[in-house]
Amino acid sequence: MSVLVAGTTALDSIKTSTKENPRLLGGSASHAAVAASFFSPVNLVGGVGEDFPKKYLTLYRKHGIDLAGLQMLPGKTFHWSGEYEVNMNNRRTLLTELGVIETFSPVLPKAYQTSPFVLLGNIAPALQHRVLDQMKQPKFVVADSMDLWLNIALPDLLRLLPRIDGFVLNDSEAHQLTKEDNVFNALKKIHKLGPKYVIIKKGSHGSILSSPKGFFICPAYPLSAVEDPTGAGDSFVGGVMGYLATARGSIDANIRRAMVYGSVTASFCCEGFGLNRTTKTKRADIEKRVKELEKLTKF
Amino acid sequence: MSVLVAGTTALDSIKTSTKENPRLLGGSASHAAVAASFFSPVNLVGGVGEDFPKKYLTLYRKHGIDLAGLQMLPGKTFHWSGEYEVNMNNRRTLLTELGVIETFSPVLPKAYQTSPFVLLGNIAPALQHRVLDQMKQPKFVVADSMDLWLNIALPDLLRLLPRIDGFVLNDSEAHQLTKEDNVFNALKKIHKLGPKYVIIKKGSHGSILSSPKGFFICPAYPLSAVEDPTGAGDSFVGGVMGYLATARGSIDANIRRAMVYGSVTASFCCEGFGLNRTTKTKRADIEKRVKELEKLTKF
């Protein structure tokens, strides 16, 4: 089955303590779509400007990503520039040029409207609503978010939560949303806001699922070198949704394994700037790391 | 087989945002010994002053802990007082009264010197050396430490590391010792300092083992209420060593499971002040949580 992936399609200029890479392909939808494409057909929803490099369109196509929902708009592509500290845990935004994203309104091609799996990647909650408004009885809808929307668009986000099946956020966002220090108490409070499935991302510490079948503690793949963590969270949820879209059986039967596949897909993302490493990854590489994670967690 | 547990035997006065508990039984050896006692016979090495409450001796004995190596010394028992922040992640020391610990020198009863498993709990590395000097061909020696010794007794600690089989420390201490931000690179560097087995504790994020058989990612038991995390690390390593001492087969065959047992024992420690919850725990309670952790991590 196919996954619809909506979110930002951007150019990212990323600085770390040792390297600088200007105008890489980035954005939540780009990372999530490429991650999901390892497992299932992907319908991309986004908007880019006239400066969007053709090579990035070629890259999407190489991953079999359907671009009928990618709008080519007058103006400049959304451009984000950020810098990581030495330990890779903290980053600061140097520049945000919204460009076409400022007036972007997602319009779904008819063929997209019946995608059974819907990933509302990180973008303004109002746009996530607009995507969802156009969908016809999706089977499983998951939304990602970020601290920015908790700060400036909380009412929109709170209206979104009862409309989705799954919500993905990181531990500091969970704390910000619920005022709970304890992650398990935060999870309980988030369920009350709507979603039946809540995943809290903890970076190199893995992630935690809370679902109708209880908790799952998902490991992160051990990496001794992180080149650029930008997009790791998007890759994670992209991998989760891609895996779920092709797995047989219920969500409950597959979501744990889907998270492990998401975790591994995110590990490749961290090993290169932007999508550089992810796009060199083969499905067999992913399977190998999933098997390794099985061994690393067995007791 | 028996475990020798050396370390501090102390009185802890602990404040959290909601409660205050003065002069509880504390210290690295107390927590580790009680934790180990769920699995194996324990020989305790420590020193207490004339003010040490009799009820705590009774408590040790109730756990079958051999006290022949607990010295009753003239003066006051080591007393630590600390306060936790609301989120339980940060604590500050309010008061440290060394008392008898200042001049304490461990003397091992003859029967202790052949204990096959030796846990050098958190105490000055010079004293850890002194314990080890008195041991006769132990099978497996593990040491714990803390940031204080990295700051004021690093040469002693560096001399200890080649003498032990296993070293346990937390992630910030691993960073302090190796200057490595990445935990897997830190592990490599710590192996070069001596120990074949290195465990990095990450609190509520679990722990990581690096061993001749590779890495193991050990989960933490999910707790929605942490009353007092003091001694959780000591309880963890106490549980690990207690489990190893009674398990059949090689260290490599048992150490992963031992860590899960240690993790669960530590979870009980966090649920009460001092040793209040741990001492109410039964072996069956531990087995129940180990089974739960198996389910929580399966994929």
Got the DSSP string for A109-126?
A: -GGGGG-SEEEE-SS-HH
Cβ neighbours, 10 Å, residue A102: 10
Q: Which among A223, A257, A296 is the nearest to B217, CB-wise?
A: A296
Instruction: Give the tens place of pLDDT for each residue, A14-36.
Output: 998 889 999 999 999 999 999 99
Q: Does A217 touch chain B (CB under 8 A)?
A: yes
Tokens 């494409």, residue located: A37
Nearest chain B CA: its distance from A222 CA (Å): 7
Q: Which whole-number Å values give the CA distances from B287 to A186, B23, B259, B292, in the listed order?
A: 27, 31, 13, 9
Q: How far is B284 from chain A (nearest CA, A)?
A: 19
Flag whether residue A183 sits within 8 Å of chain B, measured between CB atoms: yes
3 state SS of A193? coil
Closest CA to B197 of B178, B181, B216, B182: B216
Q: Which of A182, A224, A257 sits opposite B182 (nearest CB)?
A: A224
List chain A residues with CB under 8 Å of B182: 223-226
Tell me which residue of A119, A103, A153 sits closest to A41, measured CA to CA: A119
B107 CB near a chain A CB, below 8 Å? no
Q: Which residues of B156-172 are buried (b: 16+ CB within 10 A; e: fewer)?
A: ebeebbeebbbbbbbbe
What is the pairing mode between strands A207-211 and B207-211?
Answer: unpaired
Report the gap between the CA of A205 and the closest CA in chain B (Å): 6
A295: which chain B residues are within 8 Å (Cβ-Cβ)? 214
Tokens of B45: 């090495």
B210 vs A contacts (CB less than 8 Å): none
**Chain B nearest CA to A224, separation (Å):** 5
Average pLDDT over residues A275-293: 98
Residue A175 near residue A202 (C-beta atoms within 8 A) = no
- Cβ contacts of B214 on chain A, cutoff 8 Å: 295-296
Closest-CA distance of chain A to residue B191, Å: 15
Q: Which residues contact B268 (CB under 8 A, 6 or more apart)?
A: B235, B277, B278, B281, B285, B286
For residue A113, pLDDT over 80 is answered with: yes
Give the list of residues 6+ apart from residue A152 with CB closer than 8 angstroms, or none: none
Query: For tokens 């668009």, what's the residue?
Result: A153
> Is A202 near chain B, with CB under 8 Å?
yes
Per-window interface: A 218-257 vs B, CB < 8 A: 218-219, 222-226, 256-257
Mean pLDDT score across all residues of chain A? 96
Rounded CA gap, B113 and A156, in Å? 67
Minimum-distance CB partner of A260 among B88, B257, B299: B299
SS3 assignment for A240-275: HHHHHHHCCCCHHHHHHHHHHHHHHHHHHHHCCCCC
For residue A173, the SS3 value is helix
Which residue on chain A is closest to B261 by alpha carbon? Answer: A299
**What does the alpha-carbon distance between residue B261 and residue A149 come to, in Å, rounded to a whole number?**
41
Element (H, E) at A175: helix A171-178
Interface test with B, best of A175, A209, A217, A289 (most B CBs within 10 A): A217
Residue A89: pLDDT over 80: no
Chain-chain contact of B296 with A214 (C-beta, under 8 angstroms): yes
The predicted complex's ipTM stands at: 0.94
Distance of CA A254 to the CA centre of its chain: 18
Indicate the helix (H) or strand (E) that contains A211: strand A207-211
Q: Which of B83, B84, B78 is nearest to B56 (CA)?
A: B78
How far out from the chain centre does Cα B50 lie?
25
* CB < 8 Å to A87, chain B: 181
* Cα first-last separation, chain B: 35
How many Å lie between the alpha carbon of B239 and the closest alpha carbon of chain A?
15
Phi, psi (degrees; rounded to nearest 5) at A71? -85, 130
Cα B39 from Cα B159, distance rounded (Å): 31
Whether residue B200 lies within 8 A of chain A, CB to CB, comes out as no
* Residue found by looking up tokens 């003065």 in the block: B22
User: pLDDT tens track of chain B, all 299 residues?
Assistant: 999 999 999 999 999 888 999 999 999 999 999 999 999 999 999 999 999 999 999 999 999 999 999 999 999 999 999 999 887 778 899 999 999 999 999 999 999 999 999 999 999 999 999 999 999 999 999 999 999 999 999 999 999 999 999 999 999 999 999 999 999 999 999 999 999 999 999 999 999 999 999 999 999 999 999 999 999 999 999 999 999 999 999 999 999 999 999 999 999 999 999 999 999 999 999 999 999 999 999 99
Q: How far is CA B80 from the centre of its chain?
A: 16
For A139-185, how does the pLDDT look when each residue is reduced to its tens digit (9 = 90+)? Answer: 999 999 999 999 999 999 999 999 999 999 999 999 999 999 999 99
Q: Residue A76 has what DSSP assignment?
A: P
Phi first, then psi, for residue B93 (nearest 5°) are -80, 130
Q: What is the mean pLDDT of residues A218-227?
A: 96
Q: Output the pLDDT for position A184.
A: 97
- Is 80 exceeded by the pLDDT of residue A275? yes
pTM (2 d.p.) = 0.96
Alpha-carbon gap: B291 to the closest alpha carbon of chain A (Å): 11
Chain A touched by B183 (CB under 8 Å): yes
